[in-house]
Chains A and B, each alone.
Chain A
Amino acid sequence: MLSKEKIERIRRAAEKYRDVPAPYGEDIDLSKYKVEGGEVEINSLEDLEEEERAKLENLGIDVREERTSGSYLQINNNVVYTRAKSKVEILPISEALKKYNLEDYFWNLVEIKDKYTARVALERTGGFFIRVPKGVRETLPLQTCLLIGREYTSQNVHNIVIVEEDAELNIITGCATSPHVKSGLHLSVSEFYIKRNGKLTYTMIHDWGEKVHVRQRTGVYIEDNGVYINNYVVITPVRSIQSYPAVYCAGENSKATLQSVVYGRKKSKIDLGSKVVLSGRGSRADIVSRSIADDNSEVVARGRLVGEGEEVKGHLECKGLIISDEARLYAVPELDARRSNIELSHEAAVGKIAEEQLLYLMSRGLTEEEAVSLIIKGFLSMDLSGLPPTLAEAVKRIMDITLEGL
């Protein structure tokens, strides 16, 4: 439930920004992408067609749902499946809006200020609502899948996750197109709330068609002693991704870790950032990104730490490999200190694969191509801490599949 005033505010903002391009990423002609519905609900993830199932499995999704605390599947703009297997509540956002008063959660961390957010606000939109009740520490991961199943479809998503006090959850999101689908547009708004002593680990793996555009808007709010860990993985070709999530470490001793692994291939244009605002006393943030620009790709790795609170600490690490002369890798690490007793630091390094490494491996009998692919795999697999073992395996598997074609 939302108040009339709020609904009106959302509508007015959306109308205002309906045609306004975003500051980053290439501008997309929204009229080319239709917002349609009509997909039929399924009774189990195993009801999916064989090739779609295989695709989700490659993203680390447990299709048999043996080791999960719940599942969510959205195809295009329809929620076709939700299943809660634990105390964690999971609903389509449309139902959650009927059931709960989400006045303080809906369009609260993400602002409507470009045509993409405007479309999510104005048009038919799916999305999940996940709530972990107070004190529930769920160890099994909850999986959400967002699938585009038709060409030139605009998939709209508005997600809300609430981790109540002393609660904990691990969410894996697999984003993909059906195997035959090449084009599409994925627009998402995600608002995550981590209450006192709560913890949320959110891992997103992308595997889109080569002509898919992705625009994501994410806000995360962390209260006292709350912890947020975000892992973002994109290693298959895509037309473009632009995302710059903002995390607010508002609570005392709150902590955020954002890790991203990006492998730009073919004509991919990936503009990915992480911003953390440290305002809670003693709050901490670590931003780690690993990017590779290959073929004709363009990869931008942004990072921004804002120090506002007492005794906050943040570190930003950005490492990039540029493989091809036709590619571009642009690293933008920013530190913004607004108080004296804080500690913010960053290290950024961009370069090619060291010849010494190549020769070393080649002198062990690897061809140049084999050596390059091994170094790339190593570079990308580095430091993805906080991943549960099954997910770490999934990431490794999808990397192997991707790198096979090199």
Chain B
Amino acid sequence: MLSIENLSVKVEDRLILRDVNLNINVGEVHVLFGPNGAGKSTLINTIIGNPRYKVVEGSIYFKGKDITDMPIYERAKLGIGLAYQKPPEIPGVKLRDLLKIIARVDWEEIERMAEILKFKDFLDRDVNVGFSGGEVKRSELLQLFAQNPDFMMFDEPDSGVDVENIKLLGRIINHLLEKDRKPADRRKAGLIITHMGHILKFINVDRAHILYNGVIACSGSPEEILNTIIKYGYKRCIRCYQRRR
């Protein structure tokens, strides 16, 4: 569904990503680990099409189309969605109204999802205004549900969320990504950024990558990768990457 080839990205003349290759097929969910500043946010901002992130080399293909130069809203229309880590406040715009504008599913379903997320009381609040960390996450998931994209990215969906709610959010993400369906019925794909991966206990992830210093240093099964990080830290990954080269 999403294929990234030899991607290098600059932000304000600083090269952040170098020669990144990534392939995510229909039905797959990948997770991206990496220390702060490794370029994780740069990668998803580039995929979503934020114009501040300049592709200097390589290409991004989505559903077979080259979207490298496609504007942000066209990518959204094509089926790419992002649950932001720290979304901006939109004062005066009710969450309900925004959901109705972006909705590609019936309103009844959105209301049902709001109920599951224990977020119904927030429909008449201004988007993200005064939301706590956990409330932001629920709002983002609800919007993503309404938008119903085929490829979903989640930027730190568990940061600032208490243990009890991590389980709820994890299960919803798993549901959004259709991991609760039979493999043959899965039409979605996803990419999750997380620091420590508590939330991964509730999501069926297929593959994990480590982004370090702007390169994908290591890829493998989620357990493998997570264990490596816990055991040796990120430094080990870069040595391994250099050896491979």
From A18-26, A168-176, A372-380, the one touching the partner chain is: A372-380
Q: Is A29 an interface residue (CB 8 A)?
A: no
Minimum CB distance partner of A367 in chain B = B73
Pick the contact of B143: A364, A368, A374 (CB < 8 A). A364
B92 A379 Cβ-Cβ under 8 A: yes
Minimum CB distance partner of B144 in chain A = A364
* B126 CB contacts on chain A under 8 angstroms: 378, 382
Cα–Cα distance between A361 and B73 once the two chains are bound (Å): 8
Q: Would you give the 0/1 interface string for B137-154, flagging 1 where the beta carbon is closer than 8 Å to chain A?
A: 000000100010000000
* A381 CB contacts on chain B under 8 angstroms: 92
Q: Would you give the 0/1 interface string for B81-105, flagging 1 where the beta carbon is closer than 8 Å to chain A?
A: 1101001111111000010011000
Minimum CB distance partner of B50 in chain A = A359
Cα–Cα distance between A368 and B93 once the two chains are bound (Å): 16
Minimum CB distance partner of B48 in chain A = A363
Q: Is B161 an interface residue (CB 8 A)?
A: no
Q: Is B77 an interface residue (CB 8 A)?
A: yes
Cα–Cα distance between A30 and B76 once the two chains are bound (Å): 55
Q: How far is the CB of B74 from chain A (nearest CB, A)?
A: 9
Q: Which residues, 61 to 84 on B, are CB-close (under 8 Å) to A? A: 71-73, 75-77, 81-82, 84
Cα–Cα distance between A381 and B127 once the two chains are bound (Å): 13
Minimum CB distance partner of A319 in chain B = B91
Q: How far is the CB of B44 from chain A (nearest CB, A)?
A: 10
Q: Would you give the 0/1 interface string for A376-397, flagging 1 where the beta carbon is closer than 8 Å to chain B?
A: 0111111000000000000000
Q: Is B39 an interface residue (CB 8 A)?
A: no
Q: How far is the CB of B93 from chain A (nearest CB, A)?
A: 4
Q: Please, how many residues of chain B have a CB less than 8 angstroms from a CB on the other chain?
A: 26
B90 A375 Cβ-Cβ under 8 A: yes
Cα–Cα distance between A364 and B57 once the two chains are bound (Å): 26
Minimum CB distance partner of B149 in chain A = A365
B73 A379 Cβ-Cβ under 8 A: no
B73 A368 Cβ-Cβ under 8 A: yes
Pick the contact of B91: A359, A362, A370, A382 (CB < 8 A). A382
A362 B92 Cβ-Cβ under 8 A: no
Q: Which residues, 343 to 374 on A, are CB-close (under 8 Å) to B? A: 354, 356-357, 359-368, 370, 374
Minimum CB distance partner of A370 in chain B = B101
| Interface majority SS (helix, strand, loop, mixed), chain B | mixed
Pick the contact of A361: B71, B75, B90 (CB < 8 A). B90
Pick the contact of B73: A354, A365, A374 (CB < 8 A). A365
Minimum CB distance partner of B102 in chain A = A364
* A356 CB contacts on chain B under 8 angstroms: 88
Minimum CB distance partner of B82 in chain A = A363
Cα–Cα distance between A320 and B169 once the two chains are bound (Å): 37
| Interface majority SS (helix, strand, loop, mixed), chain A | helix
A366 B48 Cβ-Cβ under 8 A: no
* B93 CB contacts on chain A under 8 angstroms: 374-375, 377-378
Pick the contact of A379: B51, B81, B91 (CB < 8 A). B91
* A354 CB contacts on chain B under 8 angstroms: 88
Pick the contact of A360: B77, B87, B92, B147 (CB < 8 A). B87
A366 B101 Cβ-Cβ under 8 A: yes
Q: Is B49 an interface residue (CB 8 A)?
A: yes
* B75 CB contacts on chain A under 8 angstroms: 363
A374 B101 Cβ-Cβ under 8 A: yes
* A357 CB contacts on chain B under 8 angstroms: 88-90
Max chain B CB contacts within 10 Å: which of A357, A366, A374, A378?
A378
Cα–Cα distance between A361 and B76 once the two chains are bound (Å): 10
Cα–Cα distance between A354 and B87 once the two chains are bound (Å): 12
B92 A363 Cβ-Cβ under 8 A: no
A365 B102 Cβ-Cβ under 8 A: yes
B92 A359 Cβ-Cβ under 8 A: no
* B143 CB contacts on chain A under 8 angstroms: 364
A364 B76 Cβ-Cβ under 8 A: yes
Q: Which residues, 269 to 301 on A, are CB-close (under 8 Å) to B? A: none
Cα–Cα distance between A363 and B90 once the two chains are bound (Å): 14
Known contacts A359-B72, A360-B84, A362-B76; 17 further A-B pairs (Cβ under 8 A)? A357-B89, A359-B51, A361-B90, A361-B98, A363-B72, A363-B76, A363-B82, A364-B76, A365-B73, A365-B77, A365-B102, A368-B73, A374-B98, A378-B90, A379-B91, A379-B92, A382-B92
- Which B residues are within 8 Å of any A CB, using their own CB? 48-51, 71-73, 75-77, 81-82, 84, 87-93, 98, 101-102, 126, 143, 147
A sample of 28 cross-chain residue pairs with beta-carbon separation below 8 angstroms, ordered by A number, consists of: A354-B88, A357-B88, A359-B72, A360-B90, A361-B98, A362-B76, A363-B50, A363-B82, A364-B76, A364-B98, A364-B147, A365-B73, A365-B102, A365-B147, A370-B101, A374-B98, A374-B101, A377-B93, A378-B90, A378-B91, A378-B92, A378-B126, A379-B91, A379-B92, A381-B92, A382-B91, A382-B92, A382-B126
Q: Which 6 interchain pairs have the tightest Cβ spacing?
A: A378-B92, A378-B93, A365-B76, A382-B92, A362-B73, A356-B88
